[in-house]
A and B are shown apart, each in its own frame.
Chain A
């Protein structure tokens, strides 16, 4: 899922200062799971913002709403009848939601309340880690299910590089060497011979480098 993290409240305060009536808009999916932008976080942010402005002698209206998702037309439509009550929306959805909402409500300033960080897994309570960078041409079958693009700091296709130590990346002991993980996995799968197969030069045109990506399914379009 998409992992995001709350923006520092000082930053959000600066973003909303020019506006009088603000809607804090949450999302019930990924940002809820990573505890950055769900209903609970909306409540807390709204309360904090209210107190900030009151304590500084300023008047603001700060309302709260959480949608099922902000990346789908039908859910964003749910606020159409209340949108005119506000001067700005702080969306706690991921970057996708903020943008989709901005496209739908073109004259409404849409301010991001979280920093979208990565595609990752819910590894443990309070720990979310990157697993995928959406390169568009998945090579996981070749690497025993461990991605060298997202988990290797140098995205080497034929690793490890010379900097790995004790199974950790040269970046530091908190980062596993992806290629150590791949080698261990290939061993566990009885496929260590595959290590010597040279991975071909990657086609990065399906990655960000090729431009904004689109997926279309003609067969499901009406």
Chain B
């Protein structure tokens, strides 16, 4: 569609968002991600029936853990759209990046970069 989306994120493709587990989200942050977003099918339309419901629950769990350890649960979010909604994806992508820019870099990344510099 040649829509403009920000270049500051990496896309990881899964067969279904139901494949996402809490640990995958946490590992991303451990490795220095500033935010993790999960984009799945519209609720009720999951190709594999409930995968996107499971993903939502896991995103919520990850958010709670991230809050508790001081990284911030706002850095993870679940979006639902249908695979045909290209413009909406672009819009969400922009929104995602803006949210994270406002939150600033993840404390884990900051600290890791500091200790590497030292």
B67 vs chain A, min Cβ distance (A): 10
Which residues of chain A are within 8 angstroms of B112 by Cβ–Cβ distance? 54
A206 vs chain B, min Cβ distance (A): 41
Are the C-beta atoms of B70 and A55 separated by less than 8 Å?
yes
Which residues of chain B are within 8 angstroms of A49 by Cβ–Cβ distance? 69
Are the C-beta atoms of A55 and B111 separated by less than 8 Å?
yes
B26, B70, B114: the one contacting A47 at CB < 8 Å is B26
Are the C-beta atoms of A55 and B26 separated by less than 8 Å?
no
Are the C-beta atoms of B22 and A52 separated by less than 8 Å?
no
Interface of chain B residues 6 through 63 with chain A (CB within 8 A): 21-23, 26-27, 29-30
Contact with A along B79-118 (1 / 0, CB 8 A): 0000000000000000000000000001110011010000
- How many chain B residues touch the partner (CB < 8 A)? 19
Which residues of chain B are within 8 angstroms of A190 by Cβ–Cβ distance? none
Bound-state Cα–Cα, A44 to B26, Å: 7
Which residues of chain A are within 8 angstroms of B27 by Cβ–Cβ distance? 47
**In the complex where A10-B68, A55-B111, A57-B111 touch, is A50 in contact with B23 (Cβ < 8 A)?**
no
- How many chain A residues touch the partner (CB < 8 A)? 17
Which residues of chain A are within 8 angstroms of B70 by Cβ–Cβ distance? 51-52, 55-56
Which residues of chain B are within 8 angstroms of A43 by Cβ–Cβ distance? 23
A10, A13, A55: the one contacting B107 at CB < 8 Å is A55
Bound-state Cα–Cα, A9 to B70, Å: 12
Are the C-beta atoms of B111 and A48 separated by less than 8 Å?
no
By DSSP majority rule, is chain B's interface helix, strand, loop, or mixed?
helix
Bound-state Cα–Cα, A96 to B78, Å: 39
Bound-state Cα–Cα, A49 to B114, Å: 19
- Which of A8, A43, A50, A51 has its CB near the most chain B CB atoms (within 10 A)? A51
Which residues of chain A are within 8 angstroms of B108 by Cβ–Cβ distance? 51, 54-55
Task: Determine if A17 is an interface residue (Cβ-Cβ < 8 Å).
Answer: no
Are the C-beta atoms of B107 and A47 separated by less than 8 Å?
no
B116 vs chain A, min Cβ distance (A): 12
Task: Determine if A208 is an interface residue (Cβ-Cβ < 8 Å).
Answer: no
Are the C-beta atoms of A54 and B65 separated by less than 8 Å?
no
**In the complex where A44-B26, A47-B30, A57-B111 touch, is A52 in contact with B21 (Cβ < 8 A)?**
no
Which residues does B use to contact A, with CB under 8 Å?
21-23, 26-27, 29-30, 65-66, 68-71, 106-108, 111-112, 114
Known: A44-B65, A47-B23, A51-B69. 16 other contacts (CB 8 A): A9-B65, A9-B68, A13-B69, A40-B22, A40-B23, A43-B23, A48-B26, A48-B65, A51-B26, A51-B29, A51-B30, A52-B68, A52-B70, A55-B70, A57-B111, A57-B114
